[in-house]
Each structure stands twice: as C-alpha cells, then as structure tokens.
Chains A and B, each alone.
Chain A
Amino acid sequence: MSRALALLALAGGLFSGAPVGAQVASGQVTSGSAFLSPDLARRQADPTRNPGWFWVEQGEELFSRKPAGGAACLSCHADPASTLRGAATRYPQVDRGGALLNLEGRIEQCRVERQTQPAFGHESQELLALTAYLASLSRGLPMNVAVDGPARPFYDAGKAFFERRQGQLNLSCRQCHDGLVGQKLRGDTISHGAGTGYPAYRLEWNGVGSLHRRLRACSLGVRATQFDHGGPEYLALELYLAGRAKGLPVETPAIRR
C-alpha cells in the first residue's frame, strides 16, 4: 500500500515537472506562447520588458509620417486603432488581382501603388515595424482567414507543402508539428507552428522578424530549399498555418526563442 502511494507520488512529481507542451490536447492547434518557459511568458506579457513593443512604436510613428511626395498611411486610414482593428486576422487573403497577399505584401502594395514610394523590402526594419504595428492592433482577436472561394487553391497548395516530405532529412512539416508536438528538438519544444505571434521578437535574432524568416529557418533545419521571403510557397504555407490557427488570438509582438 505504502509502496503504491510512493509510486503515485513519484508519477505526480513527474507529470507536474513535464513541459507545458505535454498538456496539449491532440488534434487541437495551440499558440506558440503555450510552449514558452514561465519566465519568457511573463516577459512576453509585460510591455515594460518585451522589446517587440519598440517595433510597434516605430510602426505607429511610420504610419503617421508623411513621406516626401506622398500621403501618410494615416491620411486614408484615419483612427487605425478602431478602423484597422481586426484587419490582421484576415491575412493572408486573395487580392482583387487574384494574388495571395500577406500583411507585409499588402503594406508594400499600398506603399508602391497608393503612396508612390519605393518598397521597403522584406525584413527591412520599417516593414517589420509597420507589420508589427498593424498586427498589434488586432491583439486578442481570433484569427479568421478565408480558406474557401478564391483562397482555396492557395490553401490546398499550403496544405500540400505542409504534408510533403522535403530536404535531405526527408521530413514533412506535419511529422513534427502535428505528430511530435510538445517533444524536444534541439533544446526547444516543438509547437504546432501557429504564426499568431509574428512578427515576433526572437531571442535568436536579437530582434523582430517575419514569419517567412522563421519558415526559412525551418527549411534550413531539414536541409530543404529555402524559398524567398514573400514567395508563393511560403505565402501558401502561411495561409494554411493561419487556417489551422483559426480562432487563436493574435499575439504580436510575441517573444519566441
């Protein structure tokens, strides 16, 4: 009897010490924040300690700044805190021209076509800042991308990408990010690959980076082809991931390892 109790106590000890990811219900996609250490989770939630807010602040400033020979974002999008709240939850989306655009792509399109300014370029601090600012306006709102209608072929392409084995290691995204969630890989916990915190402050980068930069790191990890930032492969994958993460709240600027 006493021995059985001791075993129970031991088992209880083991489970309470298990990583957060181990409590993830199967078949249900969870946010990347669920896999953070308690200390990092506190740091993410505390604006006085989360450096990602510097990019949000910079984006807010850029949003109202009038570029030479063009109009400021603010001159069309007045009162962004209410008019653009929720906008980020609907990206990536299919544009009128039939192309799939993510939030970065939409900002660049607006900048080139309506503000008649040169594009910022992928991973530029300005584009990251504006994206982080716009995404931060939707903080707490559930992801809600359209995956039907014109978006269907892109979603299917993203799903196929997610399920296709690739690279020298011959791994598909799904094998880890569905099958091994909560387990360890190179000292980190494998997540569901929900991009709801991006652009995120990543400790490895010492700064804020886009989801596509993170996907490039994944591709490198399985020794597969790294596609371009904003390329069709990652855009389709981003749509699939956003569709998988439907209902999860936007958390930009998140902190990730």
Chain B
Amino acid sequence: MFNARITMPAEAKAGEIVEIRVLTRHPMDRGGQSDGKGGTVPRKILNRLTATYSGEPIFRLDMHTGVSANPFVSFTTRAVATGDIVFEWREDGGATFTRTARLTVT
C-alpha cells in the first residue's frame, strides 16, 4: 500500500529557501525470497522519486534495495513563484504514484 506525507510551508517569500519533507509508506520489498513454487519473488521497490516545481525538475532520488521500508527524504528549494510541486514515485513494474502540493509565493 502506498501513501505519502509531504510537509512543507504553504507560503513563502520570493527567494526564500523552503524545506520539503517527504515520508512514504511502502514495503520496499527487495525480493529474492522463495515464492514456494520453485521461483523467487521479484523485487518491488520505489526506484525513483522526482519532484517538479511549476513543471521544472528540482529534485530526483534514485533508490536501490539498500533503502529501508517507508523511506524518508528531505530537500530544499528556492521559492520563485506560486506553483504546484508535483512528486512522482516510480515503482518496479511500472506503476507510478503522484502527489501535488501548492506553494504560494508572496
């Protein structure tokens, strides 16, 4: 089950540095266990998180099997203009999850 908790200020002054915290619910199953039928369970982790700010890429995180379940990451960006920050996770197998947060610049 996927879920995400994004914490960032709703408003910022132009030029201000804002901190964005992203906590994700995901088992991050690295696979390799026996499936009981002679095969192995495939890896199923979130392998990439990207964030765009008004369409402009601002952050990318490639994740591998060493990343724990329910990963947490924080990063900063400079508030430029009012716009949406769109977070997109890519899961093994091709599924994607998105969340959007609005940053209002005063």
Contact = CB atoms under 8 A, between A and B. Distances in A.
A163 B10 CA distance: 54
* Listed residue (A49, A51, A207) with the most chain B CB atoms within 10 angstroms of its CB: A51
A207 B7 CA distance: 21
Interface in A93-109: none
Range, interface on chain A: 10 to 19
Interface in A40-99: 47-49, 51, 53-54, 57-58
Interface of B: 1, 3, 5, 7, 21, 23, 25, 27-28, 68-70, 72
Interface in A173-230: 206-207
A49 B23 contact: yes
Nearest to B29: A206
A125 interface: yes
Contacts of A48: 5, 7, 21, 23
Contacts of A47: 5
Contacts of A57: 3
A49 B24 CA distance: 9
B21 A49 contact: yes
Interface of A: 47-49, 51, 53-54, 57-58, 125, 206-207
Contacts of A206: 27-28, 68-70
A53 B23 CA distance: 10
A54 B69 contact: no
B69 A49 contact: no
Contacts of B1: 58, 125
B36 to A, nearest CB: 20
B3 A54 contact: yes
Contact of A54 (B5, B7, B21, B28): B5
